[in-house]
Homo-oligomer: A and B are copies of this chain.
Amino acid sequence: MASIRDVSKRAGVSIATVSNALNGQPNISEATREKVLKAVQELGYFPNINARLMKTAKTNAIAVFYPNFNASFYTGMLQSMYGACRENGYDMFVYISKADTSRKLVASILSSNFDGAVILHEKLAEEDLPLLAQRKVPYVFMDKEVPGKLMSGVLINNFKGIMQGLEYLKHTGHTRIAFMGGTGNYDSVMRHDAFMRGMKKLRLPIDPDYMFQGYFQEDAAYSIIRGSATGGRFANDKARPDAVFCANDVMAKGVVRALCDIGLNVPRDISVLGFDDNEYALQCAPPLATIRYSLEDMGRQAVLEVLRLMKPKAQGKLLYIDTKLVVRESVSIRYEGEL
């Protein structure tokens, strides 16, 4: 692979001159610039990026670290991210690491070249963040509340979303509310937390027997409800909760299905509320009431935040994406309450 030295020899000038000519320095005569360009053409020379990056840091690319492509769910988000990159003249790449530990992931990140990064990766531990910070480049996290000098967070406003759901349930006459929680990421923790705080705030009773773990999976949620039917909790009209608030729509779908199979009618016998408002919400029968937010907006905001942090003396901050209640048939109106 031709190096700058080869070019300099062929053009009959010094290495420094080649560098200057190529990097658009003004103090170069037209004649030599052309000689250099000609040599570059003939040799098919391209600067060695690694050597260059040792001196200057600019790559003109924004990185997205993301555990997988399983969720076709996220396609829209990546798309909006790329839109934001493109509008600002940046390339983008999505790096999927097989790292199974935080340190390995850090190694992956630190061995990639980018001007800024959006990171959404459960594996990354907070205590390793200082390692990333060594490289003076902006990072935006989508699952961590960790602002720093060059670090921001773009997060779903889970508390607001859960509150909207709980208030709606309360105002429509539901008091005994069950929670089907998820696991494994920031949102699962926050939604569980918000549920606990929200119930207290609304002075609604929290029944430990109504707190379920559905692992964010449809089948797990289904099984739990089916299982508890045998145990009697849902079969018994007295013991049954008025509503099940699910931490995502996927589980809600499983719950609706299970309740139906048990012989209960949603929403007459029991209401179900989801979270996310994705395709699963409409696959439910009846259609699922849920909490909506925009993944597209999240992606775009994240990239814009990276760009903002690149500016001279920007400071990291936390940015919460708004949520909205979506009313659909899976929640009944038990009695008219004030809104």
The answer to whether A79 and B75 touch (CB under 8 A), given A93-B93, A98-B86, A134-B46, is no
Q: Map CB proximity to B onto A46-59 as digits: 1 under 8 Å, 0 otherwise.
A: 10111101100001
In the bound assembly, the distance between CA atoms of A85 and B69 in angstroms comes to 13
- Stretch of A102-110, A235-243, A245-253, A287-295 at the chain-chain interface: A102-110
In the bound assembly, the distance between CA atoms of A245 and B85 in angstroms comes to 39
In the bound assembly, the distance between CA atoms of A54 and B3 in angstroms comes to 12
Q: Is the CB of B106 within 8 A of A95?
A: no
Q: Is the CB of A96 within 8 A of B92?
A: yes
Q: Is the CB of A91 within 8 A of B79?
A: no
Specify which of A68, A85, A98 lies most central, judged by the most chain B CB atoms within 10 Å of its CB: A98
Q: Map CB proximity to B onto A78-103 as digits: 1 under 8 Å, 0 otherwise.
A: 11001001100111111111110000
Q: Is the CB of A75 within 8 A of B69?
A: yes
Q: Is the CB of B46 within 8 A of A106?
A: yes
Minimum CB distance partner of A130 in chain B: B44
Q: Is the CB of A91 within 8 A of B82?
A: no
Minimum CB distance partner of A1 in chain B: B134
The answer to whether A94 and B93 touch (CB under 8 A), given A46-B134, A50-B113, A110-B49, is yes
Contacting residue for A91 out of B51, B61, B96, CB 8 A:
B96
Q: How large is the interface on A (under 10, 10 to 19, 20 to 34, 35 or more residues)?
A: 35 or more
A73 to chain B, nearest CB (A): 9
Does A2 have its Cβ within 8 Å of any Cβ on chain B? yes
Does A135 have its Cβ within 8 Å of any Cβ on chain B? yes
What residues of chain B lie closer than 8 Å to A72, measured between beta carbons? 72, 75-76
Q: Is the CB of A135 within 8 A of B1?
A: yes
What residues of chain B lie closer than 8 Å to A111, measured between beta carbons? 46, 49, 59
Does A70 have its Cβ within 8 Å of any Cβ on chain B? yes
In the bound assembly, the distance between CA atoms of A78 and B48 in angstroms comes to 28
In the bound assembly, the distance between CA atoms of A93 and B2 in angstroms comes to 27
Task: List A residues at the B interface (Cβ < 8 Å).
Answer: 1-2, 44, 46, 48-51, 53-54, 59, 61, 68-70, 72, 75-76, 78-79, 82, 85-86, 89-99, 106-108, 110-113, 130-131, 134-135
Known: A44-B134, A93-B112. 18 other contacts (CB 8 A): A46-B111, A46-B131, A49-B110, A50-B50, A50-B54, A54-B54, A59-B111, A61-B95, A68-B79, A72-B76, A75-B75, A82-B96, A89-B98, A91-B97, A92-B96, A93-B93, A93-B94, A113-B113
